[in-house]
Amino acid sequence: MADGGWQMAQREADSSPSPIVQHPAPRTPGAPYRAGWIHFTNVAPILDSLVLPPGVTAITGVPTQMNAALLSGEVDIANISAVEFIRNADVLEALPDFSVAVLGPVYSVNLFHTRPLEELRRVALTAQSAMSVALLEVLLQGRGLSPKLERAEGEAEALLSQGFDGVLRIGDSALREWYGVVGPLTPETTMTSLPHSARGITVTDLAEEWFRLTGHPFTFAVWAYRKDRPPPAALVQAMREARRDGIGHLADVAERHARKLGLPERVVQHYLWNFRYHLEAPDRLGLHEFAAKAVPGHAPLTFGPRPGPR
């Protein structure tokens, strides 16, 4: 579904640092604390082992759903698109030690294209993602490129055969479609440098492009909460324990999710060990650099108290 007006509307919304936050009704005492999880495979090392403490409930959804749920007050904490945290930094705060970030390629935030980037005319964007759209805009602006950006859902190869010359995809389907283009990998394929083109389709990995541009990691998601609704300590502790367990058993997590995704185990294992889940100094540097480029004039980014031992 093409929508020519959407690009302008989106650009206008993007350039405004003021939040579109609704003010939820005050909570009744004793009401549950509500979490919203984007449950893509890349968060499995944190979420799969998570045992919610008493008094905490959770829902799941795609990034734009969880962004909206946090901003409307439907949930109190969520792993949201980092760009929404930046845009709404006056009302949101983030946990200081949780991120979905990478240094270099991510494999699941992909622009599939059939012409060189410089010659792109029509690019399909998924409505599931806020972060990848903002990143794509920064990368295109950096190269002085302005293809028409349109909202359209569907698999990359199908959209490429329907008049789009670029298709932006995220998450598990983007990972699967990347492998669909470049796979199957041979035993000789080095796992430090996976291929990015085949059959006339190039897969530009937006996090790798960001690394080429800045030398920094790219932080896709942070765990944000409303400043007036910080998470109970028991929830943060449970998340830290779940992450320690998940990263400690990454091969098991990868095996389970490889089966679900229909991908080879070693591909999923490589995908997962590539992530940076602790919002460390380089990830914050990348986040601040992106914030300055994508949301000039944003409110200062604030993070909760420093964590205890991991």
Ligand X SMILES: C=C(O[C@@H]1C=C(C(=O)O)C=C[C@H]1O)C(=O)O
Point out which residues bind ligand X (CB under 6 A): 38, 40, 42, 63, 81, 100, 106, 108-109, 129-132, 170-171, 174, 220-221
DSSP label at residue 119? G
Q: Which of 56, 57, 62 is nearest to 80 (CA)?
A: 62
Contacts of 214 (CB under 8 A, 6+ apart): 286, 289
Contacts of 179 (CB under 8 A, 6+ apart): 263, 267
3-state secondary structure of 151: strand
DSSP label at residue 303? B
By C-beta, is 102 or 228 nearer to ligand X? 102
* Rounded least distance, CB 25 to ligand X, Å: 27
H or E element at residue 197: strand 197-198
Q: Which residues of 294-305 are buried (b: 16+ CB within 10 A; e: fewer)?
A: bbeebbebeebe
By C-beta, is 102 or 159 nearer to ligand X? 102
By C-beta, is 33 or 98 nearer to ligand X? 98
* Rounded least distance, CB 200 to ligand X, Å: 24
Look-up of token digits 């997962």:
272
By C-beta, is 170 or 291 nearer to ligand X? 170
Q: Under a CB-based contact definition with an 8 Å cutoff, are residues 86 and 298 in contact?
A: yes
* Rounded least distance, CB 156 to ligand X, Å: 14
* Rounded least distance, CB 175 to ligand X, Å: 7
* Rounded least distance, CB 188 to ligand X, Å: 27
By C-beta, is 41 or 115 nearer to ligand X? 41
Q: Which two tokens stand for residue 267?
A: 């591909």
By C-beta, is 33 or 220 nearer to ligand X? 220
* Rounded least distance, CB 81 to ligand X, Å: 3
Q: Under a CB-based contact definition with an 8 Å cutoff, are residues 19 and 71 in contact?
A: yes
